[in-house]
Structure 1
Amino acid sequence: MRIIEFIQKKEAQPDFQQFIEVVTKKRKPAKVHQVELLIDQEIISAISQKYFLEEMVPLTSQTQRQYIQQYVNWWYRMGYDYTMIIDIPGIGLEFPSQMRKTDDTAYLSRGARNWVEEKKGIIANWENFENYPWPDPEDIDLSPYLLAQEEMPEGMKLLVAGSSGLLEVVSENLLGIENMSYLLFDEPDLVEAVFEKVGNIMYRFYLRLSDLEGIGGFFQGDDMGFKTSTMLSPAFLKKYVLPWHKKVCELAHLKGKIYFLHSCGQLKPIMDDLINWVGIDAFHSFQEEVISVVKYKKEYGSRTGVLGGVDLDKLVRCNELELRNYVRLILQKCQNTGGYALGSGNSIANYVPINNYLIMLDEGLVYE
């Protein structure tokens, strides 16, 4: 594959400004730009070992600088115009939560996976609210971001997700989706207070990040839907969730940065609000059984950028010929008109075959 030669010869020529201008349709694409929100550490380590002949150091307080150097270099060599800072242990804003663990059965297994406790959250009443160890955004260590900023090759920037999304933190980490559903009737003031508290903490942290020159924008994840509907009513999301996305989006734009949103599921009832009111620069997360990236591009692509869209199920299970034909079709329908970057519909999880991930990138590299 041409992509293997590309990454081994270090042929990358990142251009974050061009990437943003293409995605926001301010410039016609001269090449296929790549995008991902999340690439599992197991994938990064396996590719580093096989193709870069380099072992990724485990992340500890003593190895943080070396780890970040390797991490930034990985995104560079793989052909991205940015390094994504997300879901790295000990980096960013974290809300203590209770998680269940189960075996990780991926072929690049990490041993165990965390699963959200959906029924009972940490906060069930006002006493829990008052006693919860709320993080102070002013105390979050920014040195990892500064280190990554220092390591950026010319032409690259950082994209960051400072924490999990607002709805995710409240419904998964703190209240529990089932418990929250009851509280909306029994203690609506408590639910509102939790959203207000978390939203304010997140905003204050993004306010600090927004002053870092090396950060080109925010790529925020916040899953608000499932296969057939939004997770909660559109009215609920417009009241409690979208205003905070709007505030962070406006902050990004005020500081000359971009705001991408990743959100899984059926979001048609709020998509116009996300584009026209929140003001997102581009949208990410596509599942063929919900809406294909091709259909989304046709319906919304004139108003917002479109990111990724290679369905994760196909990325995992297709053979090479099927996958190449599928990715090529997406490029034919989405790439030439601009406002698009190639990547998965969700993430490069540790159960995605590395060869299939490289096939997807290869199709982008050779596309004309």
Structure 2
Amino acid sequence: MTHAKLALEDGTVFTGRAFGAAGEKVGEVVFNTSMTGYQEVLTDPSYRGQIVTMTYPLIGNYGTTADDAESKGVQVEGFVVRELTRVPSNFRSSCDLDTYLKASNVVGIEGIDTRALVRRLRVRGSLMGVLSTTDLDDASLVRKAKAAHGMEGKDLVKEVVPDQSFKWDKGFGQFAEHVIPARAADKHVVAIDYGMKWNILRCLTQVGCKVTVVPGTASAADVLAHNPDGIFLSNGPGDPAAVGYAIETVKGLVGKKPLFGICLGHQLLGLALGAKTFKLKFGHRGANQPVLNKRTGAVEITTQNHGFAVDPGTLPAAAEPTHINLNDQTLEGLRHKSLPAFSVQYHPESAAGPHDSTYLFEEFRAMMG
């Protein structure tokens, strides 16, 4: 087995066994608490610039399949697991995880104490790190980690947006009809792609929307030129405050058409309305985050992946909070009081995760009339 090392900017070094591709990657080291859904995590563009640690100890046991990808390829900088299953057991699997990461040129490390790593991240906060199979000198790796630029102020959206607009023609794929009953496509939605998960497009299609996807660099005029019934603001990576062009676009869209935002799209809507965002200590990443719907009093178990949040104390009088995280009381949803615009910080499309919040896609469709 080839050795690999993960060094953190605080001087901590973990030594383990390499899998996936050989090489060296720099990124923000974060953790995800999901027990399943590792392929969806790997292919989520919101993880661009990050080395992801899975807290569940056994990863890779059901392999990988093209049907479960959330984008065109693996997006993470590196992958950290306690134990890798090299012989998957699942009739849907077309490739084992080790081979999948090799083909994607992504470095992985296994055999380290992931509990100790996650505890350090929870105490110190997310840290920059270097994952390497080529440089195994502790002091050298720590120096590189200390020199790495953190997530704050970093625009990663331009690294993951599509090159041009396109029509979504893949339907709702594997998305179960019993979750959202299929409807005839009689509404046209423009989805602004800042690094969008494909299951969002499947969910929009499922509730009766024809979807045109435009790059996250599009202007308000570009979006409105498609004459949509509604506009969707997608998830994506990096610091929302650094994506000034997207904030300006959303400002130009508020009040023009019904708006629905998820994750980064939620943060951009908040910033466009005049609120501020801040970086969370270690973020919310997993499929078990409890969220209170303030309008109904119901608690939803949600899938989440974000390192920044909207500061509820800075919301303008025209906006109100709709959802609150029950673990740390951070803002998980907002809506405009008089205009058709709302957003949530979490991922109602799940993939992978619970389906408690899929009703939000129906609410968006109803908002379009």
User: How would you bin the TM-score normalised by the shorter chain?
Assistant: under 0.3
Q: Which has the larger helix fraction?
A: 1
TM score, norm. by length of structure 1: 0.27
TM score, norm. by length of structure 2: 0.27
Q: Which has the larger strand fraction?
A: 2
